[in-house]
Every structure is written in C-alpha cells, then in structure tokens.
Chains A and B, each alone.
Chain A
C-alpha cells in the first residue's frame, strides 16, 4: 500500500537553529499538508500545498516557516529559527479522496 515517508523520525536542535523536515508524499496525490501535534494538545493544521504553491496556511505558519516541493517528489517544511515552543510531532500528509499521514518527525528544541 502506498505510504507517506517522513525523515528524520527524531530531530533534536538548539534554539535558534534552522531545521528542515522532509516528506515524500504519495506520488499521484495532489494535495500536501503539514500538521503538528504538541504533546497533550490537539493536532493543528499548519499549511496546505497544491499546484506548487501554498493554498492555505494557519496563524501558526508565520514567517519562520516555509514549505517547498523542490523536485516533484520531496515536500519539505523549514523552520528558520526554532523556538522552544516549536517542539512537537510534525506530520506530513497527502490526499486524493482520503488523507494518508506519515509517521511523523518528533522535533525537540533545546
């Protein structure tokens, strides 16, 4: 069964450092997403991406965040200057009719 692949599974970074979270969505899906889940809180929408551009973003997705689909297969989330409160599980998802989520990247900012 097709799956969404995320790397790395865990990332520890120092506050202020840049991180790039990587995702390989399902190849024939058209919509791509990043969600995050802070421990003990609800899953939150960050951004959706369609036709090589951001189609919607949340208030969380400020200027420190960016997304790219550089080569037609990878889909990346970059956080330019990480803060402690960015510590969370970050999930990539792609969609045709239904969503398929990756296993997530656990980001810990210290």
Chain B
C-alpha cells in the first residue's frame, strides 16, 4: 500500500518567516502534486512535479521533488497572512496507468499571523 506522510500537521508562524512542509513515502511516485484547500472548498492544484530532483517556483513558493521520487517539499519564503490554509500533497503511484488516481497526505494546516 502506498502512503504519503505529511509533516508538520499544524504550523503557526509569524508573517515574514520562512517554512517548509514535507511529504514523504517509502514508495516511488510517478508524479506528485501540491494543493491548497480553503475551508468548505475543494483542493486547488498549485503544482505538479514529475522528474526526480525537479524544482518549481511559484512566486514565494518553492516545490522540490526528491531525486528518488519518494518525497517532496514545499518551502514558503516570507510567509504572509494570505498564505494561511491547508496544504495537501498527493501522488500518482507507479503503475497507476492513465487513471492517475491520487494518493493523499493528511495535509498541513498553516496559520500565518500578522
């Protein structure tokens, strides 16, 4: 069974601080996605990483896929209150085929205090 473990589960920081969220597995994934979810809404795709070692940047957010494609990280620089939300990682397992069903982490609930 493929699992994704996400840490930390909760994070409360001050505006301007940096933070990193981790998503780890013992399994290899063909791709990994990061989502942000607001209360009462569905997950919104932020980025997909596909290649081992890949780094993608989205403004102050930096996403990295591990060389072995078993882990990923999300780094936020100079966090702002608008970054507050639930961040979820989700992976497509090897052998998922064209279905590409997602296996999810539990999420990191981030609160950025002004």
Tell me, yes or no, whether A binds B.
Answer: yes
Could you list which residues of chain A lie within 8 angstroms of chain B, going by C-beta atoms? Answer: 4, 6, 31, 33, 35, 41-45, 48, 50, 55-56, 91, 93, 95, 98-104, 106
Write the chain A residue with the least CB distance to B90. Answer: A43
A48 and B42: CB pair below 8 A? Answer: no
Within 8 Å CB of A31, what residues of B? 98-100
* Contact indicator B41/A104 (Cβ below 8 Å): yes
CB pair A98–B48 under 8 Å, yes or no, is yes
Indicate if B44 sits at the interface (CB-CB under 8 A).
yes
A99 & B102 in contact (Cβ 8 Å cutoff): yes
Nearest-Cβ distance from residue B6 to partner chain A, whole angstroms: 9
Given contact pairs A43-B43, A103-B42, A104-B41, A95 touches B106 in the complex (Cβ within 8 A):
no
Q: With contacts A48-B101, A56-B99 known, what are 18 further pairs, Cβ within 8 A?
A: A6-B42, A33-B101, A42-B104, A43-B43, A43-B88, A45-B103, A55-B98, A56-B101, A91-B43, A98-B33, A98-B45, A99-B45, A100-B45, A101-B42, A101-B44, A102-B42, A103-B41, A104-B40
Name the prevailing secondary structure of the A interface residues.
strand
A99 → chain B closest CB, angstroms: 6
Q: Is A43 a contact of B40 with CB atoms below 8 Å?
A: no
Contact with A along B95-114 (1 / 0, CB 8 A): 00011111111110000000
- The distance in angstroms between the C-alpha atoms of A98 and B36, with both chains bound, is 14
CB closest chain-B residue, reference A95 = B100
14 contacts between A and B (CB under 8 A): A4-B42, A35-B102, A42-B104, A42-B106, A43-B43, A43-B104, A45-B102, A48-B101, A55-B99, A98-B33, A98-B45, A101-B43, A104-B40, A104-B41
